[in-house]
Amino acid sequence: MIWLVFSLLGVLCLAGVPVAFAIGIAAVGAIIARNVPLTVVDQRMFTQIDSFAMLAIPFFILAGNLMDRGGISSKIVQFATDVVGHIRGGLAMVSVIASMFFGAISGSAQATSAAIGSILIPAMEKHGYGKPFAAALTATAGPLGVIIPPSIPMVIFASAANISIGKLFLGGYLPGIFIGSGLMLICYASALRNNYRAEARAPILRMLKSFLDSAWALFMVVIIMGGILGGFFTATEASVVAVVYAVLVGKFVYRKLRLEEIPDILYRSAMVTASVMFCVAATNILAWILTREQIPRMIADAMLSLTSNKYLILLLINIILLILGTILDATPAIILTAPILLPVVKAFGMDPIHFGLVVVANLAIGMSTPPVGITLFVSSGISGVPISRMIRPLIPFWIVMSIFLMVLTYVPALTMFLPGLTN
């Protein structure tokens, strides 16, 4: 069964079939091979997306698009520039900080890279930064949008693993800040090596003004997480609140959002949502047939038979996830790996919240790696830099993110401290 499924999947992907379709076709092939009625296909597809928790995905996507059109991203960039622009490599650091802030609002790596990159890649080039470096930085800073909550991959993992979305969200803050700090270290080192100049220090009054201008945008994080943790609404209801808030702030506070833009925003959000949801539904067919054949249990037993050392097993899991992240989008990777790897980590007492954040961090790195890195393509499209020219400046960022990933994996307190405060 394993050989049938993955051989078919590999052939289809190499033939250029979109990943979601390739996964669905491979799953249907396995179902036919096992003489399972084909009615299972539509049943399993519908069952996976017929979930209240999954409603958070389209609403967070819509909220991110509304905030981008409503001028929120530009306010965040200006505030970050005033805070760190005077440091050597400060403009590059602005890209990281702005991605962290925007990611804490939008929940999407793709939206974060597009919103921040469209502003900062031209600005960095104008100030003497190499365009390939600026594009590489945008590609690696964008995935901070899925490590720092709210996060669409976290919603998918929580749904697949049946764990608390709120606690998973809460656990993402420290890892996101930690990895973001690592990216800023690379920015500073690159600025010293290439003699990138710093901006003039912003006066206190201008810094205060930019903070007040961006406060409406940043307050959304307080509303979302405060509402979830305070028990006022669920993560799904929080996504709806985010949409309403984005409309009100974009239209009446920043006055950048025009009513005639709403149909186009809805259309773009619907297209992205359809893509994500179809991928979720198709992957669930494969996950179901693999679970029915008890393949997750066999893989778990095989991994545990190799060694009883949990540190080696975690290293092996990280390697598997990093490889998967280079060839699969986060959505199918999560749905496929969650039922397979959760029994393994539970066997030696790893908390599912901690494991979920390790999975998301691994796949976030994969978003900036070829051949299917989504933020890599977004950054390349915005900058006009071919992906081949981005590889060299990407290497230091990949190395630092991988090192910080190991720390995240082996130091549970980094992910479990904040969720532990809610117990």
pLDDT tens readout for residues 372-406:
677 888 888 888 888 888 889 999 999 999 999 99
Whole-number pLDDT of residue 371:
67
Whole-number pLDDT of residue 355:
94
Start-to-end CA span in the chain (Å): 42
Whole-number pLDDT of residue 358:
94
Long-range contacts of the stretch 222-230 (C-beta < 8 A, 24+): 224/149, 224/150, 225/149, 225/169, 225/170, 228/165, 228/166, 228/169, 229/166, 229/170, 229/422
Nearest to 358 by CA among 163, 182, 147, 162: 147
- pLDDT band at 335, cuts 50/70/90? confident
- Yes or no: say if 330 and 363 are a contact pair by the CB < 8 Å rule: yes
Whole-number pLDDT of residue 409:
93
* Lowest-pLDDT range of 21-25, 251-255, 294-298: 294-298
Question: What are residue 172's phi and psi, to 5 degrees?
Answer: -85, -15
- Yes or no: say if 71 and 116 are a contact pair by the CB < 8 Å rule: no
What is this structure's pTM? 0.80
- Yes or no: say if 72 and 219 are a contact pair by the CB < 8 Å rule: no
d(CA 45, CA 280): 8
d(CA 199, CA 120): 14
d(CA 62, CA 243): 7
Per DSSP, the three-state class of 201 is: coil
Whole-number pLDDT of residue 181:
92
Residue 27: alpha-carbon gap to chain centroid: 26
d(CA 375, CA 377): 5
Q: Find the length of the chain.
A: 423
- Yes or no: say if 57 and 276 are a contact pair by the CB < 8 Å rule: yes
Type of residue found at 128: G
Half-sphere exposure of 229 (CA within 13 A, CB side): 19
